[in-house]
Amino acid sequence: MMFITGRKSINVKNFLIQAVFLFVVILVVASAFTSARTNLAELGISSGFSFLERATGWGYAFSLFESSINDPYKWTLFSGFANTLFLGLITIMTSTILGFIVGSARDSNNITIQAITALFIQLFRNIPLILQVVFWYAVLIHMPSPKQAYNMFDVAFLSNRGLMIPSFNVSPVLIFSLFVLLMLYWLLKERLLILRNASAKWFYGCIIFGVALYLLFCVEGNLFSVPSLKGLRFVGGTTVPVELITMIIACTLYGAAYIAEIVRGGLNEVPKGLVEAGNSLGLNERMVWFRIKLPMALRTIIPPLGNQWVFMMKATTVGVAIGFSDLFMLVSTSITQSGQTLELIAILMMAFLLINISIAQLVHHLNSRMALKGH
């Protein structure tokens, strides 16, 4: 009885200490916020988020959505957020695929392949990312003009204006929304296990019905658009700007060099006894890699791979060096034009916090699914 009473006393004491500490932290933050508002008011600088409703009065080069100089700050910042997310997801996918290829080749017994992959890793891992971005940008802006563009089977063209590719004549918002819906369903399908069959049919049925309605009533002209040269420029299709191509190439090569080392380290952790057991069962080298080495290595690869994905997302801010319209660049321009420094930096920090926490949760989910039962 005395032990229980003493235990309760310790718990109450710990609770009071934590409550006092939390109160002090809140008091310090509130004091700093009040002091900052007072100082800004004395300098004649307004604070708050009402500026988000004002028109920016300036434009930017790349956006996944329609944009103009009359857009309010909130739409411009959302567009920058979408550009950052778009670039980050593309480079994460491409660098992961290339990193797995290079890392697997690094594990090969062929000395020539080992030397080539080692050179790739040392070359792109040891040169600063911003330097690689500037290099690839210089290469791309010195490409031929649209009239002398590189022709790829009459469906795609590469020039100093960017890469012109065929596209569907549908809104990017629809494509982005479908991608988000599929990702949400993939993440939540385990929690819908009881209703799995019914929910899956309902989910895919709604998507197919919605896409069919959109294609039937909202698409004007041809569904498929191919770029063609008209005078001094291309019309039709989609133009991928030079800045976006540069960021994809530089971030992919830089990230793949790190991911390749992560993959090689994971493959080296696979016990040799398992590989020898596979060989003794008559499995060839490809089957041993797919059925034994890769599944075992993934349990070691995924945690550091998640850290690399978070880094890749943060690396998109380097695009400001070449004028790519990501969230960091649009926030920087907004600070210059509106003077709302603290509010805009807070928005930028919260946006990256949201993205990177989501990636961390995704990695945790993958890690949980790959974990061996009982371990």
pLDDT in tens, 51-108: 889 899 888 888 888 888 889 999 999 999 999 999 999 999 999 999 999 999 988 8
Q: Chain centroid to CA 212: how far?
A: 29
Angle between the N-to-C axes of helices 327-338 and 341-370, in degrees from 0 to 180, rounded to the nearest 10? 160
Residue 309: what pLDDT?
A: 94
216: left (phi over 0), alpha (psi -120 to 50) or beta: alpha
* Mean pLDDT, range 42-48, rounded to an integer: 71
Residue 45: what pLDDT?
A: 67
Q: How far apart are CA 279 and CA 300, in angstroms?
A: 22
Q: How far apart are CA 244 and CA 253, in angstroms?
A: 14
Q: Decide if pLDDT at 223 tops 70.
A: no
Residue pair 330/76 in contact (Cβ under 8 Å)? The answer is yes
